Amino acid sequence: MNLLLVIDFQNEFINEQTKNSVNELSNLINSNKYDDILFTRFINSVNNPCFKTGWTGCLDEESIKIPIDTKSYTVLDKSTYSAYNDELINYLKEHNIDNIYIVGFDIDCCVLATALNLFENNYNTYILKDYVYSCLNDNIKNEVIDILERCIGEDHVIWSFLIHKKGVNYHSINWSSSFSRGSPSINCLLSS
């Protein structure tokens, strides 16, 4: 089964830099490309190490609110950068998850930590690079994408158009052309 793991899609992280994420992620969530969808939500507190760094976000109800209807999907609350914890591990086992597709906020913090933890624990993990965001700027996002490509492999940091609706089989992908971050163009040999 394929899981879309939506990391910390919360009001706290929606700003001028990331304002398009609400429509983009909403469309992806409603695309019917995934067998299951799971949300995480970061909750800060005065006892949290993040708070001790001086970061005071995600302390109130409005800032931790997810800006779209999560429907009947599960939302896991967390107080650490990484979503990799016993609750997530149990969820993955109970739902027989084979592939995890990560999207959300912030690529330079919680997305990065979660991806590395899942990868190091042998989960088949992918980052959808057109659906991960940095509240700071695209330069940081692109630098972290480079780091993730080096750490978990270029074939695990992908464009979302490579994920297809359930039930479609793709036997061969030819990566013969290069593409830029801004406008992907790839030659795919597809068969169903």
Is 181 contained in some domain? no
Confidence of residue 64 (pLDDT cuts 50, 70, 90): confident
Residue entry with tokens 């793991």: 5
Q: Which residue range forms the structural domain that includes residue 124?
A: 2-162
Q: Is the pLDDT of residue 34 over 60?
A: yes
Residue 177 lies in a domain: no
Residue 88: the pLDDT is: 98
Q: How many domains does the chain have?
A: 1
Question: What CATH number did the domain enclosing 120 receive?
Answer: 3.40.50.850
Question: What's the pLDDT score for residue 164?
Answer: 65
pLDDT at residue 49, rounded to an integer = 76
Q: Is residue 191 part of a domain?
A: no
Quick check: is 89 in a domain? yes
CA distance 130 to 145: 10
More confident residue, 180 or 82: 82
pTM as predicted:
0.84
Average pLDDT over residues 71-85: 94
Residue 186 lies in a domain: no
User: Do the domain assignments include residue 180?
Assistant: no
Length reported for the chain: 192
Which one of 43-57, 85-99, 127-141 scores highest in mean pLDDT? 85-99
**What is the DSSP pairing of strand 74-78 with strand 99-104?**
unpaired
Number of neighbours of residue 62 by Cβ within 10 angstroms? 9
Q: What percent of the chain has pLDDT over 70?
A: 84
Residue 117 belongs to a domain: yes
> What average pLDDT does the segment 120-134 reach?
96
Q: Which amino acid is at 138?
A: D
Whether 151 is covered by a domain: the verdict is yes
pLDDT 10s digits, 128-155: 999 999 988 889 999 999 999 999 999 9
Please give the pLDDT value at position 166. Answer: 56
Cβ proximity of 125 and 152 under 8 Å = yes
